């Protein structure tokens, strides 16, 4: 069934294609004691799906590429970043109104979009940026660019004002910049996908899979050692680094020649040491497999002074992790989920929202899922 809405005043309402799911509204999913810690228990109730078909235009710009999402309590709206590399239009983020309450997810509308500016106050030129993540911080909007290892373009985390203008940039720790010899640094398309801001103001930034010096990317039989950088949000200085163990690829492709992958595509801070992580995999001929994990950084080793995990002979304790939700296992058919936010529904209900990056492809869609948060970890 397809619903279409008329544009009104300051809002552009997007069309929704509603698909039938095996998961009923109100279905509850509980992880009582992740990694044996019952104080970390979390319980979610499914509120539905809303789909925006690829090709939808908003003020003359194609809507899509949603790769990061965060809730703005001041407006009751969400900010969502597009990973358009200034190809279809200048790099930008959107303000979205997500219509959800305890009865279900009803719609998503675009309030406005804001052009991101470079350090010179100009829109980014084509292919000079790859926006992938966005969060509200104490002094502005934090966002990340994945970089482009093919042309040795480093990733970055920057702070922007609400109008998109540049405020400041966090320093990039040693070992993350791409290198021509591929001995160190980020892998192409497996870099800064993840950004989270803790209640303390600390900022967590994660790479999708291992840096070259830290070991292989995931395979069907082995996982990958992703690094998470912890920054002091106030000063921007790095405070620590941790290992997040990305799982092996869960699904083989349809043929031996076809491709598959797995990686951490988003993080969300629950408190100053517990975070949710999205592990997003894809297998040609099968589709996406999306799992929501909880991780705990308490007790994890600080690997800031470890230049290579692959050549390290010291003991390293990774972040603990526990699977909370497998979207396919609960009857959903997820697309390319890269965005995740806690927020408030119209009736004040606490909600968890997931969003997908359609890659501006006609074979994909911009998809939102909503869950009511029944309980969450205790401090």
9 pLDDT higher than 60? no
Mean pLDDT, to the nearest integer, of 258-276?
Answer: 97
Mean pLDDT, to the nearest integer, of 304-323?
Answer: 97
Distance from CA of residue 116 to its chain's centroid? Answer: 18
Residues 315-358 have pLDDT tens digits of: 999 999 999 999 999 999 999 999 999 999 999 999 999 999 99
11 pLDDT higher than 60? no
Q: CA–CA separation, 255 vs 284, rounded Å?
A: 8
State the SS3 of the chain: CEECCCCECCEEECCEECCCCCCCCCCEEEECCHHHCHHHCEEEEEEEEEEEECCCEECCEECCCEEEEEEECCCCEEEEEECCCCCCCCCEEEEEEEEEECCEEEEEEEEEEEECECCCCCECCCCCCCEEEEEEECCEEEEEECCEHHHCECCEEEEECCCCCEEEECCCCCCCCCCCCCCCCCCCCCCEEEEEECCCCCEEEEECCCCHHHCCCCCCCCCEEEEEEEECCCCCCEEEEEEEEECCCCCCCCCCCCCEEEEEEEEEECCCCEEEEEEEEEECCCEEEEEEEEEECCCCCCCCCCCCCCCCCCCCCCCEEEEEEECCCCCCCCCCEEEEEEEECCCCCEEEEEEECCCCCCCCEEEEEEEEEEECCCC
Mean pLDDT, to the nearest integer, of 192-200?
Answer: 97
Q: CA–CA separation, 258 vs 340, rounded Å?
A: 29
281 pLDDT higher than 90? yes
Residues 122-159 have pLDDT tens digits of: 999 999 999 999 999 999 999 999 999 999 999 999 99
The pTM assigned to this predicted structure is 0.94
Q: How confident is the model at residue 3 (pLDDT cuts 50, 70, 90)?
A: very low
Q: CA–CA separation, 301 vs 379, rounded Å?
A: 21
- The pLDDT score that the predictor gives to residue 1 is 36
Q: How confident is the model at residue 22 (pLDDT cuts 50, 70, 90)?
A: low
Mean pLDDT, to the nearest integer, of 301-317?
Answer: 97
- The pLDDT score that the predictor gives to residue 7 is 30
Beta strand 166-169 with 156-160 is: antiparallel
- The pLDDT score that the predictor gives to residue 378 is 87
Mean pLDDT, to the nearest integer, of 264-292?
Answer: 97
112 pLDDT higher than 60? yes
Mean pLDDT, to the nearest integer, of 157-162?
Answer: 98
Distance from CA of residue 246 to its chain's centroid? Answer: 15
Residues 206-216 have pLDDT tens digits of: 999 999 999 99
In the β-sheet with 320-326, what is the strand arrangement from edge to edge?
260-269, 274-283, 287-296, 320-326
Residues 36-64 have pLDDT tens digits of: 999 999 999 999 999 999 999 998 999 99
2 pLDDT higher than 80? no
Average pLDDT, the chain: 93
Inter-residue contact 280 to 265 (CB < 8 Å): yes
Q: How confident is the model at residue 13 (pLDDT cuts 50, 70, 90)?
A: very low
Residue predicted with more confidence, 135 or 22: 135
- The pLDDT score that the predictor gives to residue 10 is 37
Q: How confident is the model at residue 23 (pLDDT cuts 50, 70, 90)?
A: confident
Q: How many C-alpha atoms does 377 have within 13 Å on its Cβ side?
A: 19
Distance from CA of residue 56 to its chain's centroid? Answer: 22
- The tokens for 300 are 């994890």
Residue count (the chain): 379
- The tokens for 357 are 């990056």
């Amino acid at each position: 069934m397809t619903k279409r809405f008329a544009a009104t005043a300051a809002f552009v309402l997007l069309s929704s294609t509603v698909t039938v799911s095996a998961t009923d509204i109100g279905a509850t999913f509980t992880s009582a004691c992740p990694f044996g810690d019952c104080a970390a228990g979390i319980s979610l109730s499914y509120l539905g799906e809303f789909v925006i078909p690829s090709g939808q235009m908003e003020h003359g710009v194609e809507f899509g590429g949603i790769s990061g999402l965060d809730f703005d309590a001041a407006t009751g709206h969400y900010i969502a970043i597009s990973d358009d590399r200034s190809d279809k239009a200048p790099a930008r983020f959107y303000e979205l109104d997500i219509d959800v309450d305890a009865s279900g997810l009803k719609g998503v509308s675009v309030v406005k979009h804001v052009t991101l500016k470079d350090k010179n106050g100009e829109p980014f030129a084509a292919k000079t940026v790859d926006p992938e993540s966005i969060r509200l911080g104490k002094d502005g909007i934090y966002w990340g660019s994945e970089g482009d290892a093919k042309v040795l373009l480093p990733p970055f985390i920057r702070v922007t004002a609400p109008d998109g203008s540049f405020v400041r940039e966090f320093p990039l720790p040693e070992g993350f910049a791409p290198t021509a010899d591929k001995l160190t640094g980020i892998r192409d398309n497996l870099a800064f996908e993840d950004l989270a801001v803790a209640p303390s103001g600390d900022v967590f930034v994660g790479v999708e899979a291992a840096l070259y010096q830290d070991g292989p990317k995931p395979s069907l039989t082995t996982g990958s050692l992703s690094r998470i950088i912890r920054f002091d949000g106030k000063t921007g200085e790095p405070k620590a680094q941790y290992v997040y163990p990305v799982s092996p690829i869960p699904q083989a492709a349809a043929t031996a020649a076809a491709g598959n992958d797995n990686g951490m595509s988003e993080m969300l801070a629950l408190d100053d040491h517990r975070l949710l992580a999205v592990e997003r995999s894809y297998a040609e001929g099968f589709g996406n497999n999306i799992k929501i994990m909880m991780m705990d950084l308490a007790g994890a080793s600080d690997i800031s002074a470890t230049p290579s995990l692959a050549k390290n002979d010291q003991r390293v304790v990774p972040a603990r992790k526990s699977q909370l939700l497998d979207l396919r296992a609960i009857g959903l058919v997820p697309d390319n989920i890269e965005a995740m936010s806690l927020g408030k529904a119209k009736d004040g209900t606490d909600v968890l929202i997931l969003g997908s990056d359609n890659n501006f492809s006609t074979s994909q869609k911009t998809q939102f899922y909503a869950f009511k948060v029944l309980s969450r970890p205790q401090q």
